[in-house]
Structure 1
C-alpha cells in the first residue's frame, strides 16, 4: 500500500436548520485501502457518503481525490474523475436486461468495460436476462457492476450486503478484497454486517451522532470501550 492518499476529507459538515447531521468529519484513505465506516442508525454514514459524492445541498468541507480538490464539482463530474457509489437500495432497472443497463452506465461513464465487469462479477451467463428475473443476490451484483463501470479510483459502497445471506455476504467480502487488490481500487464501505466489516477492512472509522468517535485497526476498534458502548455491544467485545 503506497503513501498516496486517494481520499482526503476535511471538515465535512451538513446541517438541517440547527441540526448537524454531519459535524466537522475528517479522515484520509490511502490508495488501495478498504475503509469501513460504521455507526448506529442516524450516526451520519449515508450523509457522509452524500457529501463525498456532492449529492444534495447545505454541505461544507473539502474533498480531495488523489490530490485533486473536487469539492466544487457536481455529482456527475465527481463520477467522471473516478468517484463511484452504490446505494443501500439497488439502483437497477428491473425490466431492463442486465447487459443493457451495464452498457448504458458505460455510455454515461464514457468508458466501456461492460464485458469485463460482467465477467468479473460472474454475470455473463445471465447478462441477457432482465434484472427482475434473477435472484436478489444477483441483483446486488448487478448494482455493484453499475458502480464498477469505468474502473473508478474510489468506490463508495453503502451496505452492499444488505439482504444477503451470511454465505453470500462473506463471498461478496472476499470478492471485493480480491477485486480491490487486482484493480487497485480504494473502497469506503458502509455496512451493518460486522462479519463483513472485520473480514475485509484495513481500518475502521466510527461515526456517532454525526461526529468521528474513533478510528483505527479493526481489532483496536473492536476492543474500544466507547465503541462497544455506543455501537457494537458486548457481542463484539
Structure 2
C-alpha cells in the first residue's frame, strides 16, 4: 500500500479491504527481506564477509542472501536467483521514486486549488515542478546525485512524526464516534515522545559536528513536533466535548 492509495480507491467502502491487504503485503515483504538478509547465508564466514560493520552491504546482502535461498528451489540456479532479487530491488526503488513524485504532484495541484492558481491544478506544470524539486534535491550538492543523503539523517524522525500525525487524526475521528481511543492514542504518545527524544539527541550531535544546515532543519522539525503535541491536546479536548454533547 503506497501513499497514493487514498487517491486511487473508487469508493470509501473499499478502503478497509485495500488497506488491510496492503498492510499484509508490506509486512510480508519486510519479513521476506529480513529472512533474505539473515538466513540467506550458508555459513558464518559468509555472514561475517558481508556484515563487516553496521549498515554496510544492505542491498548486496539482500541480493546475495535471497539468491542463496532461491537456489534451494529445484530448477533455480543461484545466479538466476540473484538476478531476480536484483530486479526486485530496482523495482522497489523505482516504485518509491514514482510514489514520491506523484505525491509531490498532488500537493502542488492541491496548492493550486487552495490558493486559486488554475495553472497549478493541471498535470503538466505540477509534474514539471515535482520532478524539478526532486532533481534539485538530488543534484543540489553536485553532479553525483547524492544530495538527498545530506538530509537523510532526519528521515527517520520526520517519518515517525508523520505517523504520529496519522494516529492523531484517527484518534480524533474515533473519539468523535464515541469509541475507545486507547488503541491509537497509546502508539501516538509513544511515537511523539520518541520523535522528540530523537530530535533532541540529533540536535546535540549536529551542533557538535558543526552541521548547521541539519541543525536548522532539526530545530524546525522539533518545533513542529512540539506544535503537534499541543494541537493534539486541543483537538482531543474539542472532540471529547463534542462527543459528550452529542450523547447528552
Name the TM-score class by shorter chain.
under 0.3
Query: So what's the TM-score if we normalise by structure 2?
Result: 0.27
The structure with more radius of gyration: 2
- Calculate the TM-score normalised by the size of structure 1: 0.28
Name whichever structure is richer in helix by fraction: 2
Greater strand share, structure number = 1
